[in-house]
Chain A
Amino acid sequence: MKSESHWQFDFRPGGWVIATGQTDDSSVKRKKIAFIEKNGRVYFSIDGRCWNFQKSQIALKGIGSGKAAHSIESMPTAQFPGRVRKITVQEGDRVKRGDVLILVEAMKMEFSIKAPYDGMIAKIHITEGLQLMPGDSYLDLTPLDKEPEKISR
């Protein structure tokens, strides 16, 4: 029997859900959860901590940002809404991992978008002053080192 079928849910006033479950050593666990689902994403509080994941991701094993490698340095696309303040590279430039490519302004702060790996700027998709939405692509960076391990890091 799958472990998840052991949980029973009590929907409480105030937006709380109490989950009661039998663990493998047959002791009873009681957890307080708050939870919502929005646009394919699940937001919840459990054990006093708030989390959010793609609904599809929740089915995967070992979720958590530690393994997802979502650091801002490794992102070729915008992760947050903001305005392009400055583009410090040009098409054709060779850059090293960690070099600043773009400065983005959001919430009155400046964020630098750095090269996730050594590469050549193949195409720049944005212009200075442009308002970015999450998912917008900044630029195409052709890796100089084709070893896949290094690209993904």
Chain B
Amino acid sequence: MAQALQPLKLLVANRSEIACRIFQTCKEMGILTVGIFTADDTEARHVTFADEVFEVRSYLDIPTILNVSKQANVKIIHPGYGFLSERPPFVKAVEENGLVFIGPRADTMLSLGNKTDAKTLAEGLGIPTLPWLVVSHQKPSESDLKKIGFPILIKAAAGGGGKGMRRVDKFTELGAAAESASAEALAAFGDGSLFLEKLVVNPRHIEVQVFGDGAGGGVHLYDRECTLQRRHQKILEEAPAPNISTKLRSQLYLASLKLVHATRYRNAGTIEFLVDPQENFYFLEMNTRLQVEHPVTEWITGLDLVRAQIQQALEPNTPVFTSSPPSLGHAIEVRIVAENPAQGFTPEAGVLEKIIWPMGHGIRVDKGIEEGQMIHTHYDSLLAKLIVHASNRENAIAKLKIALEETVILGIGTNQNYLRSLIDHPSVVAGNTHTGFLEKEFSMFAPELSPENQSLIQALLKATPSDFQPHSSSRNTRSTLSGRAFESASSNWPSPWKKQKDFPS
């Protein structure tokens, strides 16, 4: 009896922005939140926002996560994306411990999570796939590869996020590329198995959000275009996909729903397709989790996908959706990452000294960071997602420009400037890109500070109080030129302020 009166608790087996995102919905639903963190991640934002936190050795540490759940009386586990989100043994372990896992059943995950099994399944349903071949212990022969046709893409069977992917243009490149891809896949997913797939030149990446009730029913929640990628990492995502025919759109939805029905898919999932310039489409894989880019779908449908996920998990016999809700307008997301585009996208580490976020009509920020936080290179470089929504695509791009311009992250390098330039590119504005676009046509990103701005910054660095406008208060001067910057700046000033008692020297 006493137990039934306790509020529901949900543990997020994840970190950073997605943990914070899930916490928000939990709080709205009156569910208590439990977070986990590693020793490298004590400063992460989700540690601040959880109702309760536990330290774990790793975000993949299943025994500790289960122990902690028992200890804290957790009922539900949300895996987020990455980490344990697509590992069937984790789903099994969670359910065997009497807990609710948010996501599909372990067996569905097993058949869909493995890309080669998923392709076989799709082929059986009459969904187009690309020519492919499993890499077994025996190295494929040259004629095997010629059957697929070059160029060929090596992919990790357990993959996602572009890890373990390599392009091979000739047979002699296969060995080295496979070795490095396998090692990367093993490190990222705990499984180094690979397969080969025909590489489509200049394709678009379009995906369909689906939601299944676990009993064979399910709906699509429209499409997203995620064509703009670097190293197979999505960088800008939008919903709906621009410039595709109604025919293609309905074909994609139909193919997706076939998979949902056939697998009796449970909860949120995403079906990824490659679309060539002639609008031929090929099933790529199904992601059996909430995607990083789910906010664009949320915005055009008005849904809270995390709420729908929790609801479906708690009431497995009641479908959350019986039909697709209407969609409205256009949404775009950009990923702000701790990478320096001007230096080959090398990771950046350091303290986030100053952050200013944009706010206002149609602007959403899903962030995993706070001002003053130390960013390490242990984890994914994603700092935050900036999402905008407007009545149409043109207005959404205009809004995204303003939102990006008001995004200030200082103390480490980010791709903010790069993203701002990207959305000025005529091909991006036209919605006419392909998955190789960023590396082929936008690789020469080399911004130059204008001479005027250069002299302005020089002037600011040398500024003395006589250059400050009379109404510039010392309070604001102090907070802007804070810390070391203030000390170094103020020590150079023959400032009368120093003589004042309340002025720190």
- Which A residues lie at the B interface, using CB under 8 A? 3-21, 23, 31, 33-39, 42-53, 55, 58-59, 61-68, 70-73, 79-82, 85-86, 103, 105-111
B438 to chain A, nearest CB (A): 15
CA distance A15 to B481 in the complex (A): 9
Q: Which of B347, B411, B414, B477 contacts A82 (CB 8 A)?
A: B347
Question: Is the CB–CB distance between B447 and A72 below 8 Å?
Answer: no
A-B pairs, 4 with minimum CB distance: A48-B405, A64-B448, A72-B344, A4-B459
Question: Is the CB–CB distance between A15 and B377 below 8 Å?
Answer: no
Q: Which of B346, B406, B449, B456 contacts A63 (CB 8 A)?
A: B449
CA distance A110 to B413 in the complex (A): 19
Of all chain B residues, the one with the shortest Cβ separation from A78 is B346
Residues of A within 8 A of B479 (CB): 11, 13, 15
Q: Which of B231, B340, B420, B484 contacts A37 (CB 8 A)?
A: B484
Question: Is the CB–CB distance between A58 and B454 below 8 Å?
Answer: yes
How many A-B pairs fall under 8 Å by CB?
Answer: 210
Question: Is the CB–CB distance between A64 and B356 below 8 Å?
Answer: no
Question: Is the CB–CB distance between B472 and A10 below 8 Å?
Answer: yes
CA distance A81 to B346 in the complex (A): 9
Q: Which of B348, B410, B446, B451 contacts A36 (CB 8 A)?
A: B410
For window 317-364 of chain B, which residues contact chain A by CB distance below 8 Å?
338-340, 342-344, 346-351, 353-354, 356
Stretch at the interface among B98-106, B181-189, B204-212: B181-189
Does B381 sit within 8 A of A, measured CB to CB? yes
Question: Is the CB–CB distance between B416 and A49 below 8 Å?
Answer: yes
A80 to chain B, nearest CB (A): 4
The verdict on A17 contacting B460 (CB below 8 Å), with A37-B484, A37-B488, A108-B379 known, is yes
Question: Is the CB–CB distance between B356 and A10 below 8 Å?
Answer: no
Does B473 sit within 8 A of A, measured CB to CB? yes
Q: A10-B472, A38-B485 are in contact. List 8 more A-B contacts (CB 8 A).
A: A9-B469, A13-B476, A16-B356, A36-B353, A45-B356, A68-B342, A70-B342, A80-B349
Residues of A within 8 A of B489 (CB): 37
Question: Is the CB–CB distance between B456 and A33 below 8 Å?
Answer: yes
CA distance A14 to B458 in the complex (A): 22
Residues of B within 8 A of A105 (CB): 187
Jot down 23 A-B pairs with beta carbons below 8 A, ordered by A.
A4-B459, A9-B467, A10-B468, A11-B480, A14-B356, A15-B356, A21-B456, A37-B481, A37-B484, A38-B411, A39-B484, A48-B405, A48-B406, A50-B408, A50-B417, A51-B447, A59-B458, A80-B346, A85-B183, A103-B180, A106-B346, A109-B184, A111-B344
CA distance A89 to B385 in the complex (A): 39
For window 421-457 of chain B, which residues contact chain A by CB distance below 8 Å?
446-449, 451-457
Question: Is the CB–CB distance between A49 and B480 below 8 Å?
Answer: no
Question: Is the CB–CB distance between B410 and A7 below 8 Å?
Answer: no
Of all chain A residues, the one with the shortest Cβ separation from B410 is A43
CA distance A47 to B344 in the complex (A): 24
Residues of A within 8 A of B70 (CB): none
Residues of A within 8 A of B409 (CB): 50
A129 to chain B, nearest CB (A): 13
Residues of B within 8 A of A110 (CB): 180, 183-184
Residues of A within 8 A of B187 (CB): 105, 108
Question: Is the CB–CB distance between A49 and B460 below 8 Å?
Answer: no
Of all chain B residues, the one with the shortest Cβ separation from A39 is B484
The verdict on A45 contacting B410 (CB below 8 Å), with A7-B460, A33-B456, A33-B460 known, is yes
Does B461 sit within 8 A of A, measured CB to CB? yes
Does B169 sit within 8 A of A, measured CB to CB? no
Question: Is the CB–CB distance between B377 and A82 below 8 Å?
Answer: yes
The verdict on A45 contacting B408 (CB below 8 Å), with A12-B476, A14-B356 known, is yes
Question: Is the CB–CB distance between A49 and B413 below 8 Å?
Answer: no
Question: Is the CB–CB distance between A58 and B342 below 8 Å?
Answer: no
Question: Is the CB–CB distance between A48 and B404 below 8 Å?
Answer: yes
Question: Is the CB–CB distance between A10 and B347 below 8 Å?
Answer: no
Of all chain B residues, the one with the shortest Cβ separation from A82 is B377
CA distance A64 to B273 in the complex (A): 39
Residues of B within 8 A of A21 (CB): 456
Residues of A within 8 A of B347 (CB): 80-82, 106-107, 109
Does B155 sit within 8 A of A, measured CB to CB? no
Q: Which of B353, B448, B471, B484 contacts A43 (CB 8 A)?
A: B353
Of all chain A residues, the one with the shortest Cβ separation from B474 is A11
Residues of A within 8 A of B453 (CB): 31, 46-47
Does B367 sit within 8 A of A, measured CB to CB? no
Question: Is the CB–CB distance between A50 and B414 below 8 Å?
Answer: yes
Residues of A within 8 A of B354 (CB): 15, 34, 36, 43
CA distance A25 to B453 in the complex (A): 17
Does B462 sit within 8 A of A, measured CB to CB? yes
Question: Is the CB–CB distance between B467 and A73 below 8 Å?
Answer: no
Question: Is the CB–CB distance between B348 and A80 below 8 Å?
Answer: yes
B333 to chain A, nearest CB (A): 19
Q: Which of B404, B457, B476 contacts A11 (CB 8 A)?
A: B476
The verdict on A73 contacting B344 (CB below 8 Å), with A15-B480, A58-B461, A108-B380 known, is yes
Question: Is the CB–CB distance between A49 and B417 below 8 Å?
Answer: yes
CA distance A105 to B480 in the complex (A): 36
CA distance A72 to B346 in the complex (A): 8
* Residues 174-198 of chain B, each 1 if its beta carbon lies under 8 Å from chain A, else 0: 0000001001100110000000000
A53 to chain B, nearest CB (A): 8
CA distance A92 to B244 in the complex (A): 55
CA distance A119 to B410 in the complex (A): 38
Question: Is the CB–CB distance between A109 and B231 below 8 Å?
Answer: yes
Question: Is the CB–CB distance between B461 and A55 below 8 Å?
Answer: yes
Of all chain B residues, the one with the shortest Cβ separation from A66 is B446
